[in-house]
Amino acid sequence: MSTVRERSGPRKVSRPPRAAPGRPGGRDGARPGSLWPYLLIAPAVLGMLYLLVYPLARAVLISFQDFRLRQLILGDADFVGLRNYRTLLGDPQFWEVVRRTFVFMAVNVAAIMVLSTLVALMAERLGRAARTVVLSSLVLVWAVPVVAATTVFQWLFHSEFGIVNETLTGLGLSSYEGYTWFAHGGTAFAIVVVLIVWQSVPFAAITLYSALVTVPAELYESARMDGAGGARVLRSVTFPLIRPIFMLVLSLEVIWTFKAFVQIWVMTCGGPGEATTILPVYAVQTALAGQRYDLGSAASMLTVLLMSGVLVLYFRQLFRQEGEQL
Amino acid sequence: MSTSRPSARRALRRLPLHAAAALTVVICLFPVYWMVTTAFKPSTDIQSYDPRLIPRAWTFDHFRRAVGADGFALFWRNSILVTLSAVLLALVVALGAAYAVARLRWRGRRQFVLAVFIAQMAPWESLIIPIYIISRDTGMLDRLPTLTLIYFMITLPFTVIVLRGFIAGIPPELEEAAQVDGCTRAGAFRKVAFPLLAPGLMATSLFGFITAWNEFTYANFLIIKQQDSRTLPVWLSSFQSTFGTDWGATMAASTLFALPALAIFLALQRHVAAGLASGGVKG
């Protein structure tokens, strides 16, 4: 577990244990029963209640009602019990969206984790100058706003003047001349995946890299002296030590790809046809385009339900590491 | 082992490693490079079947067209206004909460921290529909303060988490000494701890700034009729339909939009890895 705490090594401010709140005999703690702490957190609590809990409760409510354009304007929505959920779960199209969401997530997360682990291992082995260049370019990618990156990818894969088509044609693949990437389901899906992987690898790679550098060099040396080869060292020394961080990044990436909305909405709006419609996109389309706010809410709530499973894993991992700070 | 031919063999052995590093850098940088160079290329070179990696001639025409586009100044102002007010609000509210969590003892502290961590992972993409309906019911559609409130809530949990760490890192003895010298508790915090907090406040507010600056979904769905209240990300996403096939101007607009975020990230590079990774924040 010590690797975990050392992870925050580069951070400038460390947390000396004596600053831990609630320590016995803390001269510093307010008198029990004092109102001050509650006044200090009141705005944050109110914010969370009104801007998170209330919308969530409202979404649950709408998902149990008959809520369409009429009810949006006039109010007085009727309760229909589980009808919306039954409609959704009985709709083969919905199951197709669920299936696509999981495929989308699996492909993205697998690519992100493999590539970022490779990049992190590579960065660790590089010399100082080369490593700075690699890490800086990763940070640069991380910083590109989603909408800007999405627009740039549309331009890269533009059918007529896009650099990708021109390069492929130049390499002799003449079938790519004027190829319309976004008109075909498979290729549109692939481009969204490439975009999301490109945007997500920097966070994962940098986090894994900062976990890797906390592995003590002596461990590697003694493993080598025991005659372990490179692959063996990786499997028996490196991976077990960075496993907690790896799992943390993995669960974060699962959640984030599950929520990938902006890239798809800006690039394809879920199309062509339905090829890139994943759950969040489906929910918004159902609600705002089809005026079925009830079905859209039900789909959103099912998304949250599916996601919360991963969230629980994430929090377990997080608190196992940071538990002592709570 | 490698005493016979050390350096040459070593260089050869490290060749694949350096090739992989070069490939990584190229893949990372090329889309950004292509965005910037397209923005500077003359239109005839953009719409050419023989693309050049390095522009032959440079032009500011596209930037002029992007900046001169309808409402650019207005959307820029809207974005700045919404972003700054959200970040300031989050900073003030988070400072109080972080202080209470890091320094005071009270019943419910653990639960509050847990709630903040959960709020950090809030499924904003799944709350679009209820928030749209609530805003509509309360007459808050098409208004910038709505976006301010939402961006405040999006950035608040992260700000609390990070500031808590910074405050806990300042020894309480410093404030106690000031209190002994006759300062009030609040005065001690303001005069002693606050200056030490400056770097933390700076870093968190800049990350909050980037989050709010880039936010697209709510700006897109809550600002519908009132075109004057739009923000830059929405403007950029609709740029192509407005400008047709003018990719030069579109890339110039993307560059202008990305520039503040890029500048902030590169300036904060040292904090990025450790600070953000622990908060579970995606830029």
Whether chain A has a CB inside 8 Å of the CB on B18: the answer is: yes
Q: Do residues A250 and A316 make contact, with C-beta atoms less than 8 angstroms apart?
A: no
B123 neighbourhood in chain A, CB within 8 Å: 259, 300, 303-304, 307
CB A130 within 8 A of CB B11: no
Confidence of residue A197 (pLDDT cuts 50, 70, 90): very high
Residue A17: per-residue pLDDT = 41
C-alpha–C-alpha distance, residues B165 and B201, integer Å: 11
What is the tens place of the pLDDT at every residue in B57-71? 888 988 988 888 878
ipTM here = 0.85
Pick the residue of B10, B104, B126 with the most A CBs within 10 A to test the interface with A by mutation: B126
Q: What's the gap between Cα A291 and its chain centre?
A: 28
The structural domains of chain A, with segments of one domain joined by +, span 98-320
- Mean pLDDT of chain B, nearest integer: 85
CB contact under 8 A, A48 and B160: no
**Which residue pairs, CB below 8 angstroms and at least 24 apart, start in A19-27?**
A19/B102, A19/B168, A19/B169, A19/B170, A19/B171, A19/B172, A20/A324, A20/A325, A20/B168, A21/B101, A21/B102, A21/B103, A21/B104, A21/B105, A21/B109, A21/B168, A22/B105, A22/B109, A26/B105, A27/B172, A27/B176
| Side chain identity at residue B217, one-letter code | T
A225-260 pLDDT, tens digit per residue, is 888 888 888 888 888 888 888 988 998 899 888 888
The pLDDT tens digits for B186-221 are: 888 888 888 888 877 887 888 888 889 999 999 999
Helix axes A92-125, A128-143, angle to 10 degrees: 150
With H, G, I as helix, E, B as strand and everything else as coil, classify residue A78: strand
CATH superfamily of A98-320: MetI-like (1.10.3720.10)
pLDDT at A23: 41
- Please give the average per-residue pLDDT across A45-54, as a whole number: 95
In this prediction, residue B270 carries a pLDDT of 63
Contact B262 A52 (CB under 8 A): no
Element (H, E) at A79: strand A78-79
Question: Tokens standing for A307?
Answer: 């996601």
Q: Which residues of B touch A58 (CB under 8 A)?
A: 130, 133-134
Mean pLDDT of B30-35: 94
Residue B280: closest CA among chain A residues belongs to which residue? A252
Q: Of the candidates A122, A307, A318, which has its C-beta nearest B123's C-beta? A: A307
The reply to whether CATH 1.10.630.10 applies to domain B71-279 is no
Give kind and range of the element (H or E) at residue B256.
Answer: helix B247-267
Chain A, chain B: beta-carbon pairs less than 8 Å apart? 325
State whether A134 and B265 contact (CB < 8 Å).
no
Question: The tokens of B112 are what?
Answer: 């509050």
Asked which of B80-84, B238-242, B279-283 is least confident by mean pLDDT, the reply is: B279-283
DSSP state of B52: -
Residue A289 vs residue A285, higher pLDDT = A285
Mean pLDDT confidence for A30-57: 88
Lookup: tokens for A55: 């919308």
Instruction: Please give the DSSP secondary-structure letter assigned to residue A227.
Output: T
Distance from CA of A236 to the nearest CA of B (A): 22
Who among A10, A26, A301 is closest to B273 (CB)? Answer: A10
CATH 1.10.3720.10 boundaries in chain B: 71-279
Q: Which residues of B touch A268 (CB under 8 A)?
A: none
